[in-house]
Amino acid sequence: MKIERLDQDSFDKLYQKAWEPITEITVEELEKEFEALDSRLKEGFESAGYEEENDYELMFEWQETYHHCGGIYSHRAHSPETLKIVSEALSEAKEPQKWIIHFACEATEDFEGAQDMGQFFVQDNVAYFVEDGTKFHQLFETNQS
């Protein structure tokens, strides 16, 4: 998965696409897609050994858009494995390029100079981070230095 860093305004503008009205399928069809995506994400996190509430959480209510979100709370979940799980879960969606999955990231552990709180979202196999001068995005890169 590609990682891109955007200034805050560009990040917010791109993320707003998550709230565009759905016109091409019914709400019921999209809700089924959401539930399937949610299940695949949970299965992926559990297969990686992540524990719900300790390492991650996923939103439990659907908002009638191509949007899902959650939180990442532990050092082990602030990793390339998380992006791999999200990518694999999205790859099985009917229209993966339309989905936006947002994560708020919080942790109490030291990240060796990286910001311990942040956010990112994934759309169309790209993870978008805010360019804020920290090393936060590096926690998710496969070739960390």
pLDDT along the chain (145 residues), means of 10: 94 92 88 95 96 91 89 88 95 92 78 65 94 78 61
Q: Are 45 and 68 a contacting pair, CB within 8 Å?
A: no
Q: Are 67 and 19 a contacting pair, CB within 8 Å?
A: yes
The per-residue pLDDT for range 76-115, each reduced to its tens digit, is 888 899 999 999 999 999 889 999 999 998 865 555 554 4
pTM: 0.88
